[in-house]
Chain A
Amino acid sequence: MQLTLTVNETPHELDVAPNTLLVDILRRELGLTGTHVGCDTSQCGACTVHMDGRAVKACTVLAGQAQGAVVMTIEGLGAPGNLHPMQQAFQDLHALQCGFCTPGMIMSAIDLVRRSERLDENAVREGLSGNLCRCTGYHNIVQAVLTAAARM
């Protein structure tokens, strides 16, 4: 199928099979390897990106569903020297270790902050329960999200 979508403010026209996963389009077709794949059952959240302003697991979106979509990945969020407050808070609070879950965690956390009127520790923990991290025990991730929420 002919797929038209915008990724990180760049429009793309691609010829892909309709059952291609959005995460494979990002990683393989567009070389955006910041979005990771950690499982095959939509459980880990490492592939989380923003599609039309909402967090989605890119391993569960088919090319056909992404037709005309506006997608934002970790690469489009902020670069060194011009980091998004969530990225900055993750570094400031040591909210990452191996870094593999981090892009998905950051994309989920931003969506969580945007959707929430008020966030406390429990709400952050519940809100991030779709993203697995094996390194941090989530302690510093929770602190980072609360910090970023105050800064955003």
Chain B
Amino acid sequence: MSETGIGKRVKRREDVRFITGRGNYTDDISVAGQTYAAFVRSPYPRARIVSVDAGAAKAAPGVVGVFTGQDLAADGIGPLPCGWMVKSKDGSDMKIPARPPLAVERVNFVGEPYAVAIAETPEAAKAAAAAVETEFEELPAAASLAGAAGGPQIHPDIPGNRCYDWELGDAAAVEAAFARASHVTRLEFANNRLIPNAIEPRAALAVYSAATEEFTLHTTSQNPHLARLILTAFVNLAPEHKLRVISPDVGGGFGSKIFVYPEETAVAWAARRVGRPVKWTADRSEAFLSDAHGRDHLTTAELALSESGTFLGMRVRTKANLGAYLSTFASSVPTFLYGTLLAGQYRTPAIHVEVEGLFTNTAPVDAYRGAGRPEATYVVERLVETAARELGVDPAELRRRNFIQPDQFPYETPVALVYDTGNYQASLEKALQRADYAGFAARRRESEARGKRRGIGFSCYIEACGLAPSQLAIQLGAGVGLYESGEVRVNPTGSVTVFTGSHSHGQGHETTLAQIVSDKLGVPFEQVEVVHGDTGRVEFGLGTYGSRSVAVGGSAVIRATEKIVAKGKRISAHMLEASPDDVDFDEGVFAVRGTNKKMTFGEVAFAAYVPASFPDDLEPGLSEKSFYDPKNFTFPAGAHIAEVEVDPDTGVVDLVRFVAVDDFGEVINPMIVEGQVHGGIAQGVGQALLEHGIYDDAGQLVTGSFMDYCMPRADDLPSFEVDTTVTPCTHNPLGVKGCGEAGAIGAPAAVMNAVTDALGVKDLAMPASPERVWRALQAV
């Protein structure tokens, strides 16, 4: 097999431009005559806009225009939609507050834009934005999740600030399970609010051609086709065929760049209005205020166990903070991406979960790396670890007793999923070995001899990835299908251009997908180019999130290569005067079985475009596409083990070891997969030890910069030990499951299980800051 095929550690081809400063991020792009936008944002968490006076701002030097929410509304630019309908227990639809791109009558969170200034320079635009004089009537705010239901009503038509009251599972079966339990473990905790903070801030550059009435919007999107669909079909910016969305190099997303935001909407509209290109790049302060945040749950969770430690039932009640408005996929995150994962890796026979989605006067909350699944894993794995301690059972042993066994797949959980395959104990045993669990007691004694506390914690997570079978997703309320497109275009010289609807913002698709196509077609890796992120070049796509790019996007590409091979067989059969059924394709050669007649892939490609004597039923050309709709979710799973040492004098937690053993099914490029795991772990450790997006009681964002919001730095983290086990996915052609979110899903529970073990406390709030740890130790 070649050195660049499936399974090889191929160096990334995109790196060359990034390490030499030749990346092409949105803010790097400039066009002739461009102007700059600056947004005017609410200083209040909740207020009525009495009047906006842009007179002085418009008169300022270099100002091209100043526009308010009224101007967009007058042009019929309409509210930003939420793409997932969730229904309450009583069958009623979730409540959807109208979210105008620029606020018109009321502002509902600090940082909500209500006007935009366009000027010749960024400085002039910012000065003009600052010169807009606004009279507000400040209104009482519902700033906290805990107080949201009884707080001031944010939207006139949404009583109790309640979006929905959702449930999943069999409540009666759970009651019965708890009634016969010999032990119940109960925890109440928060899943802390996080701010995604991709290092590239969001940006947009819009160009409008009056001649063709076409928009070109360069923007930092994880899913440019979805952005185009929303901006045209729902927001009414333009007809869909008149908007081209280009997401060039994008500097990280982690979910936050899935969504359609007010800013790119207003920038695109303004480009037509002022008749010149308009560019906007968020500064970090704006990113903190206006990017969709993640997590933010309050949960009560209970696990019922038998005398022998068998899980009998689980009951979970969660309040989920949705922020002031429903962001693009906000409704689905604390419901279908959360409640469905509460079985974890276990045979818990009865589970019931209730989730109240609540509005608050804070930035919208939506998917952030893992999206619902880290929250679910935190519930399950904190409960299991706590139960083990309460029962005096080794936490690894309690997990072994309750794992779904390899011979039980496909396994239908009580929360609506069917796991296709897995071997959870294999991952755990490997992780225990890698972490030298047997030697932990000695390490703990050694730490204690130095006056330190040492703890170890596990997290055996599962995730549902590869979103999603369209029929199922649409049944559950999704506004779009979740297939993916792939096109394989063979050029006359035999090189190949691959078009994918997936989008890379760091994941390395240009390398991974080229490996797959090179492997399947026997074309040299260097001869395969991957195109993504441009609605003008790629037919359609749903983009990248939920670890779906290879499982769904890669499967589409595989299907397209299969069609290429089939067509190649017909062409070569014709050229070699044989039947297509008698042609075999292997390693880039079409050969007639039982003869020495053969054609190379390149020869077939050339013949396809120079069809000297093709019969009527054989079309020229060699280009095929596929829309792949997954048959099920994929279920990556694994075992993460964290070991910490705590300094009782300072409360500082030192993460001394982190072992991750993950089952991602088949792996295309192990180097890239390991990198994805490293990054996910860092974000998960960040949630556990460092990060917290905090609003004060009045609704002001306290953690609004990198000086206040504690991002993981190189010296906060250890090197990680990562390994894999493999049970191939049973229902996609590559046997892959997805790896992008695993670290962020598994790590928080592993770290907090280790911290609570070290401290000897039942629970501790994330992030386990030195102050919290120190206070907890004083209370023991």
Contacts and interface: CB of A to CB of B under 8 A. Distances in A.
Interface of A: 27, 32-41, 43-44, 46, 73-75, 77-80, 83, 87, 90-92, 94, 96-103, 106, 121-122, 124-126, 128-129, 131-143
A78 B20 CA distance: 7
A140 B714 CA distance: 11
A138 B675 CA distance: 9
B580 to A, nearest CB: 42
Contacts of B610: none
Contacts of B707: 41, 43
Contact of B25 (A36, A87, A92, A142): A36
Given A97-B252, A134-B711, A139-B720, A74 B21 contact: yes
B19 A135 contact: no
A40 B506 CA distance: 23
A37 B199 CA distance: 9
Interface in B247-302: 249-252, 254, 281, 283-285
Nearest to A84: B19
Contact of A142 (B23, B676, B719): B719
B19 A96 contact: yes
Contact of A100 (B251, B671, B679): B251
Given A129-B715, A132-B711, A137-B682, A39 B20 contact: no
Secondary structure call for the A interface: loop
Contacts of A103: 18-19, 21
B169 to A, nearest CB: 35
Given A41-B707, A91-B11, A99 B715 contact: no
Most A Cβ at <10 Å: residue of B21, B23, B506, B682:
B21
Interface in B644-693: 671-672, 674-676, 678-683
B706 interface: yes
Contacts of B671: 94
B22 interface: yes
A33 B250 contact: no
Interface in B19-66: 19-23, 25, 27-28
Contacts of A37: 27, 201, 281
B505 interface: yes
A35 B706 CA distance: 19
A33 to B, nearest CB: 4
Interface string B508-547: 1000000000000000000000000000000000000000
B18 A96 contact: yes
Given A38-B284, A41-B706, A126 B199 contact: no
Given A39-B283, A40-B284, 15 more contacts: A33-B27, A37-B281, A40-B283, A46-B199, A75-B21, A97-B506, A98-B252, A99-B506, A100-B23, A100-B251, A101-B251, A124-B714, A131-B714, A138-B713, A139-B720
B581 interface: no
Contact of A80 (B14, B16, B678): B16
A73 B21 CA distance: 8
A89 to B, nearest CB: 9
Interface of B: 11-12, 14-23, 25, 27-28, 197-201, 249-252, 254, 281, 283-285, 505-508, 671-672, 674-676, 678-683, 705-707, 711-715, 717, 719-720, 743
A50 to B, nearest CB: 13
Most A Cβ at <10 Å: residue of B17, B508, B719:
B719
16 contacts: A39-B283, A74-B19, A91-B19, A97-B252, A97-B507, A98-B251, A98-B506, A99-B17, A99-B18, A134-B198, A134-B199, A135-B506, A138-B682, A138-B713, A140-B675, A141-B714
A90 B19 contact: yes
A148 to B, nearest CB: 11
Contacts of B506: 97-99, 135
A105 B14 CA distance: 17
Contacts of A128: 713-715
B724 to A, nearest CB: 16
Most A Cβ at <10 Å: residue of B201, B254, B713:
B713
Contacts of B507: 97
Contacts of A78: 20
A101 B706 CA distance: 15
B679 A137 contact: yes
User: 7 closest pairs, A vs B, by CB?
Assistant: A34-B21, A100-B251, A99-B18, A137-B682, A98-B506, A43-B706, A74-B21
Contacts of A143: 719
Contact of A129 (B18, B676, B713): B713
A122 B707 CA distance: 23
B396 to A, nearest CB: 25
Most B Cβ at <10 Å: residue of A41, A83, A100, A135:
A135
A35 to B, nearest CB: 7
A58 B263 CA distance: 27
